[in-house]
Chain A
Amino acid sequence: MAGVIEIKGMRVAYGATEVIKGIDLTIAPGTVLAVVGPSGCGKTTLLRCLNRMTAPSAKISGDILLDGDDTLRMDPVLLRRRVGMVFQKPNPFPMSIRENVLYGVKAQGGHRKSTYADIVEASLAKAALWQEVKGRLGDSAMTLSLGQQQRLCIARSLAVAPEVILMDEPAASLDPTSTAELEDSIIAMKGAYTVVVVTHDIDEARRVSDHTAYLSGGSLVEFGETEQVFTDARSPETRAYLRGRALSASVA
């Protein structure tokens, strides 16, 4: 099964500031990895290195392999066709729901027009949005609620059949109901796609992920099975972080 990501000795620097200081990590295909850690620890930079969406000034060294292919020397356009991304803020295109889903498909080409309808239905179904929008595919994507927009963005990424989906705090601007629906669609992706989720919400990480990585100050402090990390972390720093956050969440 495709979608293995191997990160070897990755370092990222913006000018003289090193934001990621040597990370080794292998993400198994078809699993969900949650990346947690305090603000500014390099989570988002790590995520954006995986599809080369970092700022042009970022200098990346080391190796990132996708199914053995060197992604750092690959054409970024081709890489992004294999690695989809969902952003913090829903960013649907100013067009109809149908066109939003088909945007990547048309950009990449090679599909028959007769398959478009099937692609739209299948992608929206995987993102748990089909039932809500099937009657109004021609409507503007802006008429959807924020939660629906975010799921549309997921459907949009799934439509191009990527191996990996990256999510950068996907629930950050959603209400609890929409968050729950979003989490359901992430869990539904397990097995078919490798998913990397950056999140500030510890409970969400625990609910959706198979593995959890804890980053701090640009280094990978902890990596393991989610249950193991949450119940019995090796590093005291990880324990403190997870407990502090979990504690404050349970108090609230």
Chain B
Amino acid sequence: MSASSQVPAAAREQNRLSAREARRPRDLGTPALDRASAVLPVMAFGVSAVALVIACVSLSLNSLDPYRLVVGGALTASLALLVLHVRYEDEAWDLWAIGLLVASAVAVVLLARLPEYTYGHSINGLIHRSLFTAIIQLAIALPTTCVALYYVLGATPTARDLSRYPFLVLPIVLSLFAYVVILFRLVQKGAPDLTWNAISNEYSSRLVGSAFVNEAGMRNHILGTFLLMAMTALIALPIGVGTGIFVTEHDGWLAKLVGFSTSMLRAISVFILAVSAFSLVRYTGDHQGNGVLSDLIRGFYLDDAGFKHPAKGSFLTAAVFLSLLVIPVIARATEEGLRSLPSDIREGSQALGATDGHALLRILLPWSLPNIMTGLLLGSAEAAGSVTVLLFISGRGQYGLGPQHEATSLAYLIFDAGRGAKSFTDVMGQYQFSAALLLLCITFSLTILALFLKQRFATRYRAGISYE
């Protein structure tokens, strides 16, 4: 009889556990850890992103300041803690970790001590203090992201890690807290102004006697948002689905090229799209803004006296550029849907003498519908919320809605009202938060609808076949 079999089972189990205890610090370095509980790296990414977003948001929404102070400071501290924890586990307590801690401390102090506005001499105008802290937070977020990457690639903390070191959960809690604070602030400031009048009234600016009289209202912007979403969907859906089908169903260099271009389109900065849209609008049509091309691209409006004026950019132009954002989303969704169809079902259709076109209409597209719908709705939500393109080419749209009219949307209103907030004459200033809240509601309900429809269509068109 060997020695090991004489030891009682319970004791052996105990030995095994303590042997694992002894190995623990090195476990973090092995790639074989349980990836299923890899909440932390994802959250660390999220946290870094949230820290940056808060810093940037606070640049434009300065009224978030006190909250940002708490949230930003706590986030920074928790990130530093996380980094230190990893360092400690690796028994490599070094200058890098200490540097991060110092940097985060500096960020917190700067956030707390700097005056809210700093008057620059070399730069004209004033600089908000979060501009400074944004840079420092970026500097902290970068290495933290690297640590998170390190987790993803190799050492993923297990559920056991999380239960043993509860403070690892802190970043998760804090980032949720950050969202709640932003949401709360939005509701608190936005809801009171969100009256029926504000929603149903039209923004207008009329000449009464010798003075302009402005009337506040968000109707143009709300309807504009929906028009923009509808037009974008109309353009993006056939092209996106077509691209997805082409990339999946064809081999060869052309399909590869199209697939590559679609992914690249996703990677293009929105800013570049916006500048392209702006240039297009600027340089088409003659200077008076006459001609069909100018009407289509720049848009036009008729003033109260019936004179035609060229606008800054039409709904059509805005929708075309926004659809460039949405097409890759839909194409990718279609591709995923088509690829998830079991190949034997495809063979079954071929064996019955069905043409590819028939299979596409009767099997492939119905099967991919849940994916396509989700892609479309999420893409539309993105189009509704995307402000960068509209920033350059849209206006307040007070002279009607239509493909050729001046583009406008809630996203633009948030920018526009924020810009006007400092001038006391602008009646739209107070609606900045209301518009943001409304936009959030629209995009949020689209997201919920997308999830619901995906579930619904999956039951209907996939008849309970699970897809991998």
In Å, the complex CA distance between A157 and B350 comes to: 11
Say whether A93 contacts B363, CB under 8 Å. Answer: yes
For A92, the chain B residues whose CB sits under 8 A away are 348
Closest to B462 in A: A94
For B350, the chain A residues whose CB sits under 8 A away are 53, 80
- Interface 0/1 of A48-62, CB less than 8 Å to B: 000101000000000
Closest to A81 in B: B353
For A93, the chain B residues whose CB sits under 8 A away are 345, 348-349, 362-363
- Interface 0/1 of B342-354, CB less than 8 Å to A: 1011011111111
Closest to A162 in B: B353
Q: In this assembly, does A84 line the interface, its C-beta being within 8 Å of a C-beta of chain B?
A: yes
For A91, the chain B residues whose CB sits under 8 A away are 342, 344-345, 347-348
Which parts of B310-367 form the interface with A (CB within 8 Å)?
342, 344-345, 347-355, 358-359, 362-363, 366-367
In Å, the complex CA distance between A76 and B391 comes to: 55
Q: In this assembly, does A179 line the interface, its C-beta being within 8 Å of a C-beta of chain B?
A: no
Q: In this assembly, does B463 line the interface, its C-beta being within 8 Å of a C-beta of chain A?
A: yes
For B344, the chain A residues whose CB sits under 8 A away are 87, 89, 91
Closest to A103 in B: B352
Which parts of A61-98 form the interface with B (CB within 8 Å)?
77-82, 84-85, 87, 89, 91-95
Q: In this assembly, does B465 line the interface, its C-beta being within 8 Å of a C-beta of chain A?
A: yes
For B359, the chain A residues whose CB sits under 8 A away are 107
In Å, the complex CA distance between A79 and B362 comes to: 21
Closest to B343 in A: A91
Within the complex, what minimum Cβ distance (angstroms) separates A110 from chain B?
A: 12
In Å, the complex CA distance between A84 and B349 comes to: 11
Q: In this assembly, does B464 line the interface, its C-beta being within 8 Å of a C-beta of chain A?
A: yes
- The number of A-B residue pairs with CB atoms under 8 Å apart is 79
Say whether A160 contacts B352, CB under 8 Å. Answer: yes
Closest to B367 in A: A94
Contact for B358 among A85, A107, A143, A153, CB less than 8 A? A107
Say whether A80 contacts B353, CB under 8 Å. Answer: yes
Contact for A53 among B351, B363, B463, B464, CB less than 8 A? B351
Q: In this assembly, does B461 line the interface, its C-beta being within 8 Å of a C-beta of chain A?
A: yes
Q: In this assembly, does A224 line the interface, its C-beta being within 8 Å of a C-beta of chain B?
A: no
Residue with the highest number of chain B CB atoms closer than 10 Å, among A79, A89, A95: A95
Within the complex, what minimum Cβ distance (angstroms) separates B251 from chain A?
A: 9
Q: In this assembly, does A141 line the interface, its C-beta being within 8 Å of a C-beta of chain B?
A: yes
Q: In this assembly, does A145 line the interface, its C-beta being within 8 Å of a C-beta of chain B?
A: no
Say whether A80 contacts B351, CB under 8 Å. Answer: yes
Closest to B345 in A: A91
In Å, the complex CA distance between A81 and B366 comes to: 23
Contact for B351 among A89, A94, A143, A157, CB less than 8 A? A157
Beyond contacts A89-B344, A94-B367, A107-B362: 5 other A-B pairs, Cβ-Cβ < 8 A, are A91-B348, A93-B362, A107-B355, A107-B358, A160-B352
**A residues with CB within 8 A of B:** 51, 53, 77-82, 84-85, 87, 89, 91-95, 103-104, 106-108, 140-143, 153, 156-157, 160
**B residues with CB within 8 A of A:** 342, 344-345, 347-355, 358-359, 362-363, 366-367, 461-465
A-B CB contact pairs (8 Å), 26 listed: A53-B351, A77-B353, A80-B350, A80-B351, A80-B352, A85-B351, A89-B344, A91-B342, A92-B348, A93-B345, A93-B348, A93-B349, A93-B363, A94-B363, A94-B366, A94-B462, A94-B464, A94-B465, A95-B366, A103-B349, A103-B354, A104-B353, A106-B358, A107-B352, A107-B354, A107-B355
Q: 5 closest Cβ contacts across the A-B interface?
A: A81-B353, A104-B352, A107-B354, A85-B351, A94-B463
